Amino acid sequence: MSTVRTRLPEGRYGRSSDERADRTLRVVGAALGALLLGLVGWFGYHYVVQNEISAELISFDAGEDAVKVRLEVRKDAGATGYCTVRSQAENGAEVGRADFRFDEDATRIDKVVTLRTTAPGTTAELLGCHAD
């Protein structure tokens, strides 16, 4: 008994259409991967370089109608900007939100700010800082 061949002899009839499609998919995939890598690099670079002000919420003291928040702000010497802070009630509802400006020339600022609330706040959260 002889074995039945199901494949064509290698190299005799050129590339099959499946091999051409695989090569095309590899080229398109490599191009899209390079584009994605470039976009991630570009966004990462602009996020790090353009972010001239950052802060950290050190502590807070909640009261009946205000929350005192201690922020440590780090920024470039000539940079100006603001940080957004919010407070929530025990049930999760937002009871206060405010932007606090930092225009000083110092590169590190340790400041206590007062966030007025509409009801007793139980938390304080630094939402972010933005340079002007």
Query: Encoding tokens for residue 32?
Result: 């899209």
- pLDDT tens sequence for the chain (132 residues): 566 667 766 666 666 667 777 888 899 999 999 999 999 998 887 766 665 788 899 999 988 899 999 999 988 888 888 999 999 999 989 999 999 998 888 889 898 999 999 999 899 999 988 887
Please give the pLDDT value at position 12: 67
Residues 6+ apart with CB under 8 A from 97: 84, 85, 86, 87, 115, 127
H or E stretch covering 94: strand 94-102
Please give the pLDDT value at position 53: 83
Q: For residue 37, how many other CB atoms are within 10 A of its CB?
A: 10
Could you identify the residue written with the tokens 């051409």? Answer: 20
Could you identify the residue written with the tokens 């007062």? Answer: 114
Nearest Cα neighbor of 115 from 49, 47, 65 is 65
Please give the pLDDT value at position 85: 93
Q: For residue 117, how many other CB atoms are within 10 A of its CB?
A: 24
* Residue 69: strand, helix, or coil: strand
